[in-house]
Amino acid sequence: MDSTKSIMIDISSDVLDQENLDKLVALNNDHALTIINKFVSLCKPSKVTVITDSKEDLDYVKNKSIELKEETPLKLKGHTIHFDSIYDLARDVSSTKVLVSKGEYASPWINTIDREEGLEEILKYMDGCMEGKECLIQFFCLGPTGSKFTICALQITDSFYVVHSENILYRQGYETFKNLNGSADFFSFIHSAGELTGDPPVTKDISKRRIYIDLKESTVLSVNNTYAGNSVGLKKLALRLAIYRSNNENWLAEHYFIMGIHPEGKKRKSSSFFAGAYPSACGKTSTAMITGQTIVGDDIAYVRAWKDGYAHIANIEQGIFGIIQDVNQKDDPVIFDALTTPRETIYSNVLIVDGTPYWLGDKRPAPQKGINFSGEWFPGKKDEKGEEIKYAHPNARYTINLRELKNLDPTLDEPEGVPLRGIFYGGRDSDTMVPVLESLNWDEGVFFGAIIESETTTATIGQTGVRKPNPMANLDFMVVPLGKYIANHSKFGNSLKNPPKVYAMNYFLKNPEGKYLNGMLDKKMWIIWAEGRTYSEYKAIKTPIGYIPLYKDLKALFQQYLNKDYTEKEYVEQFSIRTKHLLDKMDRIEQFYKKEQETPEFFWKILNRWRVELKKLKEKHGKEIISPLELV
C-alpha cells in the first residue's frame, strides 16, 4: 500500500483492497480511520467492504444478505424474511450495560458495569469474532442531512441484514461524513453476529451476547446477536448516546412520535405538530396513526431550541422498525396496506406460508403450518421447556421506509425540523388520570412526563394491574441520572419564548365494574381539543392538577368527528377528579424518586402542591370523587 495512505490504516491489502481503501481515505478523517483500523484488526474479517451512498453499493448489501441467507425473498417483490435465533428474539436488557468509571454516580435503574472491566470482557469476545466473514463499513446521518439536528454515525458490522435494515431506517451519510472535516463528532457502532450456526445462519453462542455502551467514546460495542434491537446500533443504542449528549448540551433526545394534526374546517397556515411519548401498549402507534392526520416519525426524535422562540423537532430516522403483532386491515389500514403490497420490507420472526407472512393478531385465518424462527412450525409445537411455540413471535417486526406510508407528512426531511406546538405523555391507568389533561405551565408538563405509569396487562408475565413508573417512556434507555434528565427538560423549555403545551393522556380509564370509559376512537377528540387549545380556541376548567375540557366543547367534537351523542354522564365519568387515587399516585411517585439522588427541587414542589390542593379539594366537597361540573 502507498505509505501516505496507510498512516492510519494497518490492514492487509488482502482484506482491504485499494478501491475500498480509497473510499476511506476520501473521508479525510483520522479519528474514523483509527476506529476502523482498531476494530478490523481486532475482529479479523477476511474482507472489508466500504459502502457509500451509491445505489450500486446499497444493492450489493441487499443482494448479499439474500445470498448469505440472512434474508430470504418472499412472494411479493421487495419483501424478505429474516429469522433470529430462538434465543435472540428481543432486547437483552440484562446484557445491555453502560460503562461507568469508578466513583461515577448512576441512577439505580441504569444497568452498569465498571468501564475497564466491561471493555476487557467485550473486547475479548470480539477478538476474532469476524473470522472468515466480510466486514461492512457504512456511514449514516441521524436526522435530516445538512441540518442542526444531524449527527453522523459510523457502523462496522459483519451482518448484511443489519446494514440493509439501517439503509431502510436511516439516511445514508457517506458524503455528509466528508463534511465533518476531520472532526471526531460522530457516533460509532461496532457489531458482530459472532460465530454462526444453522440454516438460516444465527448466532451460535448467545451466552456471550453483550451490548456495552461507552458514553465517553460515543461508541456502542455489540457482539453475539442478530436481533435488530441489539444489533442495529443506530436505533435505541444511538438513542442512549444522544440522551447523554443532549443532557450535556441543553436539548432533548426523546422516545417521541411526531404527528401533524389537521382539524376539520380550520384554516391553519401549516400542520400543527405534536410529539408523544407512551410506554409499550399504551396507544403510541394508534395515536400517531389516527385517521386524517399525518405522521413525521413513530419512535425517536431530537428537539432543539430555535431562533423563532419555538422548540423544533425532527425525526432522526426515515423508517419504521415496528412491532407487527395486531396490525390488521381494520384498525391499521395504512400500515396494513403498505405491508401487503410490493415494496421494500423486511419481516422478522413471523410465520411464512408459501412465501406469504402471517403474524399474531392480523385477523386472518390462523395458519396450520409454515416456517418460523423455530424452523418447521405446526400447531402444538413445543420448545425445550415444553412451552408451546406460537406461529409468530409477539415481538415480531417489520422494517419499512416511512415514505411507503400514504399519510406521511411532507416535512420528514425538513432541515430545520418542524415547530412543536404540543407534547402528549400517555400511560395505562384504569382508575386515576382523566383522558386528557393540559399542564398549568412547562414545569408542570415536565412533571406529567416524569410521573408516567403503565399498568401491567395480561400480556405481561406476573401480576396484572401493577403500576410501573416510566418517566417520559424513556426509562429503559436512560444513561444519565434521572434527576439530571428531568432538570434538563425544565431548563430547555423555560429557555423558550413559546414552549410547547403539554398534555397527559390516558385511554384506559375504567368504571368500578371494569368497563372501559373511553371508546377506541375517542382519542381523536382528545388530540383535536389539545390542538385547538394551542390556538386558544377552547376554554378549560382549571383543577389542582391541570386544565380539563368543557363538556360543551367535547360534545361538539364528538358530533362533528364521530356523529355521536356524547352525554353529560359520560363526561362526568371520564373527567371527574379522583382525589384518593391521585394522592395514592403521589405516594408511589415519591417512593420512586426518593431512590434518585439528584431529583430537582421544582419536581418536589409540584408534587407537594398537588398533595395539598387535592386534599383541600377533597375536604371542600366532602367526597373523594369530584365532578367536573362542580369545578366550572
- Give yes or no: residues 387 and 268 share one domain: no
**How would residue 619 be classed by pLDDT, with cut points 50, 70 and 90?**
very high
Question: Among 404, 423, 438, where does a domain finish?
Answer: 404
The whole-number pLDDT of residue 461 equals 45
CATH number (domain holding residue 614): 3.90.228.20
Compute the average pLDDT of residues 344-362.
Answer: 98
The whole-number pLDDT of residue 27 equals 95
The CA–CA distances, whole Å, from 284 to 54, 424, 442, 570, 582 equal 35, 10, 22, 24, 23
Q: Mapping DSSP to helix (H, G, I), strand (E, B) and coil, where does residue 313 land?
A: strand
- Give yes or no: residues 131 and 262 share one domain: no
Cell of 579: 382525589
- Give yes or no: residues 110 and 173 share one domain: yes
- Give yes or no: residues 427 and 575 share one domain: yes
The separation between CA 464 and the C-alpha centre of its own chain, rounded to angstroms, equals 24
Residue 590 has pLDDT above 70, yes or no: yes
The whole-number pLDDT of residue 462 equals 52
Compute the average pLDDT of residues 605-620.
Answer: 98
- Give yes or no: residues 186 and 327 share one domain: no
**pLDDT above 90 covers what percent of the chain?**
94
Question: pLDDT, tens digit, for every residue of 308-325?
Answer: 999 999 999 999 999 999
Q: Mapping DSSP to helix (H, G, I), strand (E, B) and coil, where does residue 202 land?
A: strand
Question: Among 246, 279, 304, where does a domain finish?
Answer: 246
- Give yes or no: residues 64 and 170 share one domain: yes
CATH number (domain holding residue 356): 2.170.8.10
Question: pLDDT, tens digit, for every residue of 151-161?
Answer: 999 999 999 99
Q: How many other CB atoms are there within 10 angstroms of residue 552's CB atom?
A: 12
User: Does an H or E element contain 532, and which?
Assistant: helix 523-533
Residue 75 counted as domain residue: no
The whole-number pLDDT of residue 2 equals 47
Cell of 357: 407472512
Question: pLDDT, tens digit, for every residue of 443-494?
Answer: 999 999 999 999 976 444 456 678 999 999 999 999 999 999 999 999 999 9
Question: Among 404, 426, 445, where does a domain finish?
Answer: 404
What rounded mean pLDDT belongs to the chain?
95
Compute the average pLDDT of residues 168-173.
Answer: 98
DSSP 16: S
Residue 454 counted as domain residue: yes
Q: Output the DSSP codes for 71-120.
A: SEE-SSTTEEEE---TT-SS--STTEEEEE-TT----TTS-EEEHHHHHH
Residue 78 counted as domain residue: no
- Give yes or no: residues 356 and 446 share one domain: no
On whether the CB atoms of residues 32 and 154 are closer than 8 A, the answer is: yes
- Give yes or no: residues 556 and 422 share one domain: yes
Euclidean distance between CA atoms 16 and 213, whole angstroms: 28
The whole-number pLDDT of residue 270 equals 85
- Give yes or no: residues 137 and 241 share one domain: yes
The whole-number pLDDT of residue 457 equals 60
72, with CB counted inside 10 A (0-12, 13-18, 19+), is middle
- Distance from the first to the final alpha carbon of the chain: 80
- Give yes or no: residues 349 and 390 share one domain: yes
Euclidean distance between CA atoms 388 and 429, whole angstroms: 31
- Give yes or no: residues 237 and 309 share one domain: no
Compute the average pLDDT of residues 389-408.
Answer: 97
Q: Total structural domains in the chain?
A: 3
Point out the residues that are catalytic.
282
Residue 229 counted as domain residue: yes
Residue position matching grid coordinates 451490548: 211
* Segments in 206-298 forming alpha helices (H): 228-231, 236-246, 284-288
Peptide bond into 600 cis (omega under 30): no
Domain enclosing residue 56, as ranges: 3-70+87-246
Q: What is the pTM of this model?
A: 0.96
On whether the CB atoms of residues 507 and 283 are closer than 8 A, the answer is: yes
DSSP 346: E
Residue 6 has pLDDT above 80, yes or no: no
- Give yes or no: residues 197 and 308 share one domain: no
On whether the CB atoms of residues 190 and 156 are closer than 8 A, the answer is: yes
Residue 556 has pLDDT above 90, yes or no: yes
Classify each residue of 57-68 as buried b or exposed e, where b means 16 or more C-beta atoms within 10 Å of its C-beta. bbebbbebbeeb
CATH number (domain holding residue 218): 3.40.449.10
Residue 259 counted as domain residue: yes
Residue 81 counted as domain residue: no
Residue 590 counted as domain residue: yes
Closest by CA to 235, choosing from 276, 271, 189, is 189
The whole-number pLDDT of residue 456 equals 74
Residue 62 counted as domain residue: yes
Question: pLDDT, tens digit, for every residue of 232-264?
Answer: 999 999 999 999 999 999 999 999 999 999 999
